[in-house]
Chains A and B, each alone.
Chain A
Amino acid sequence: DTGVSQDPRHKITKRGQNVTFRCDPISEHNRLYWYRQTLGQGPEFLTYFQNEAQLEKSRLLSDRFSAERPKGSFSTLEIQRTEQGDSAMYLCASSLVQGHEQYFGPGTRLTVT
């Protein structure tokens, strides 16, 4: 099937290390979003791509976070010099430009020790 996939599903890292997550959206979807979710909260918007262009980033997003979507297909989210506060579920979603429904992947759970 062709839902949104994310890799890895779980990542445990030590504070100060860099981590990279991958998201493969539904193939015909132009828009790709990254969100972060902590326990008991709703997902928090991080950044958004339309095709390969990163069009918006949350003002709350630290400079340690960077995302790419080369060729408008899969996307990567990198966190440099991880901190314990980065521990969360990182969710990717995709949608059509004209659509209002976002399809979420299963997420990558990051634990920073």
Chain B
Amino acid sequence: GQSLEQPSEVTAVEGAIVQINCTYQTSGFYGLSWYQQHDGGAPTFLSYNALDGLEETGRFSSFLSRSDSYGYLLLQELQMKDSASYFCAVSPGSARQLTFGSGTQLTVLP
């Protein structure tokens, strides 16, 4: 089976940097994705890592270590609009269906 662990809540102030960690155990692995979901909204894609290393997209970066079954999402220059739930998700099969973690609720304070 698959399991993912990520912190349930993180709080930070505007302008700060926050890191959301994710560890996973899966029977197969094609990649680690990150999705953002605002209250009442649909999940939206942020980033994807298939290989070890850091991927940067604007204020967001994502890291993967396959040997450690670990990844993180780094959010820089936090803004109030970044307050949302963040989910890590693994693709255990070639069909790319996603297994999601339980999510991290990020609260950005002024």
What residues make up the interface of A, taking CB atoms closer than 8 Å to B?
A: 31, 33, 35, 40-45, 48, 50, 55-56, 91, 93, 95, 100-107
Selected from A41, A43, A44, the residue in CB contact (under 8 A) with B43 is: A43
- Residue picked from A33, A45, A48, most chain B C-beta under 10 Å: A45
Q: How far is the CA of A14 from the CA of B69 in the complex (A)?
A: 43
Q: How far is the CA of A35 from the CA of B91 in the complex (A)?
A: 14
Knowing A42-B87, A42-B89, A42-B100, the reply to whether A55 touches B95 (Cβ < 8 A) is yes
Closest Cβ neighbor of A59 among chain B residues:
B1
Please give, as numbers and ranges, the residues of chain A lying within 8 Å of B43 by CB-CB distance. 43, 91, 93, 104
Please give, as numbers and ranges, the residues of chain B lying within 8 Å of A95 by CB-CB distance. 96
Q: How far is the CA of A44 from the CA of B98 in the complex (A)?
A: 8
Check B97–A48 contact: CB distance below 8 A.
Answer: yes
A24 to chain B, nearest CB (A): 14
Q: How far is the CA of A21 from the CA of B87 in the complex (A)?
A: 25
Chain B interface, number of residues (Cβ within 8 angstroms): 22
Knowing A106-B42, A107-B42, the reply to whether A45 touches B99 (Cβ < 8 A) is yes
Query: Could you write out 26 A-B pairs with CB less than 8 Å apart?
Result: A31-B96, A40-B103, A42-B89, A42-B100, A42-B102, A42-B103, A43-B43, A43-B87, A43-B98, A44-B100, A45-B98, A56-B93, A91-B42, A91-B43, A95-B96, A100-B48, A100-B91, A101-B33, A101-B48, A102-B96, A103-B45, A104-B42, A105-B42, A106-B41, A106-B42, A107-B42
Closest Cβ neighbor of A41 among chain B residues:
B102
- B12 close to chain A: CB less than 8 A: no
